[in-house]
Amino acid sequence: NNQKQQEHKSGFISIIGRPNVGKSTFLNRVIGQKIAIMSDKPQTTRNKVQGVLTTDDAQLIFIDTPGIHKPKHKLGDFMMKVAQNTLKEVDIVLFMVNAEEGYGRGEEFIIEKFSNVKTPIFLVINKIDQIHPDDLLKIIESYKEKHEFAEIIPISALEGNNVETLLELVKKYLPEGPQYYPADQVTDHPEHFIVSELIREKALHLTREEIPHSLAVVIDRMIKMDDKDVIHVMATVIVERDSQKGIVIGKQGAMLKEIGKRARIDIENLLGSKVFLELWVKVQKDWRNKMSQLRDFGFRE
């Protein structure tokens, strides 16, 4: 056999950037499955979500970090620490910015964190479908002054423009390495986490007046019923105040029913099985500031 063995590359890629720049949209497009939560509200992604892209010659393991931002309370602090730690642990950092907004104080705050990071950092300018090409050049120039990026790539995560190019560049920078995950695996998180995120997403969308941080979802049990092709999911929605509990439950339970209905459809698609979903709502005052409880909610450092 005279065929040259192609080298296999693999590694970890962290996606970092302010809330709503499009990190989850990008990850979902690349992995092609709904594993990170998309929302027009800031910071709905609080845990690391890994998406694994396996091709013939490479495996790209993406980490969707919480947005780095100025902490307002302990949860924010915790999130930022998680995000900062990942910068040093990964092979490539994708720093995503919103082309519509340009360079601002939020970006400056993040770039300051790059000062002693040796990992190659790509500047990914997202949402280019929203701007004029002339403005793009200005944005690129302004960022070049701030930091020496390994690569600068404009994309539209929503429409897909230039995403393939970005992936090829990522591959170029990755070290030679093995296939860490089976080819059909898109995430290494327990299904519990993804299921809880799907429920949380529905709850956030349907209760628009509530702030995302005040709502958490914990999966109490997830079991396959013996005789039937049905997965039984029991989950608790945790809120901070009684008033929020009322909103989540709704008139005669209508809101909770709707949250459950919509979440169930997504969970069934995800698991490829019929799902019986039971939801409860619980008030846990000021849970955001109780660090000891964060781990119970699935936060990892």
* 196 interface partner picked from Mg ion, K ion, ligand GDP, none, CB below 5 to 8 A per type: none
- Binding part of the chain for K ion, among 32-40, 57-65, 190-198, 258-266 by CB under 5 A, reads 32-40
Choose among ligand GDP, K ion, Mg ion, none what residue 22 binds, the Cβ cut-off being 5 to 8 Å by kind.
Answer: ligand GDP
- State the maximum Cα–Cα separation within the chain, in Å, rounded to a whole number: 71
Rounded Cα–Cα distance for residues 291 and 301 (Å) = 11
Contact status: 284 vs K ion (CB under 5 A): no
Q: Quick one: what does residue 195 bind among Mg ion, K ion, ligand GDP, none, with the CB cut-off 5 to 8 Å set by partner type?
A: none
Min dist CB 40 to ligand GDP, Å, is 4
Distance CA 138, CA 141 (A): 5
* Contact criterion met (CB below 8 Å) for 273 and 231: yes
Candidates 1, 5, 40, 292: give the one binding ligand GDP (CB under 6 A).
Answer: 40
Instruction: Please check whether residue 86 is in contact with residue 119, taking contact to mean a CB–CB distance below 8 angstroms.
Output: no
Number of residues in contact with Mg ion under rule CB under 5 A: 3
Residue 45 within binding range of Mg ion, rule CB under 5 A: yes
In the complex, minimum distance from the CB of residue 157 to Mg ion, in angstroms, rounded to a whole number: 11
Judged by CB, which is closer to ligand GDP: 20, or 47?
20
CA 192 – CA 34 distance, rounded (Å): 14
Q: Which residues bind ligand GDP (CB under 6 A)?
A: 17, 19-25, 38-40, 45, 126-127, 129-130, 156-158
What residue ranges bind Mg ion (CB under 5 A)?
23-24, 45
| Contact positions vs K ion (CB under 5 A) | 39, 44
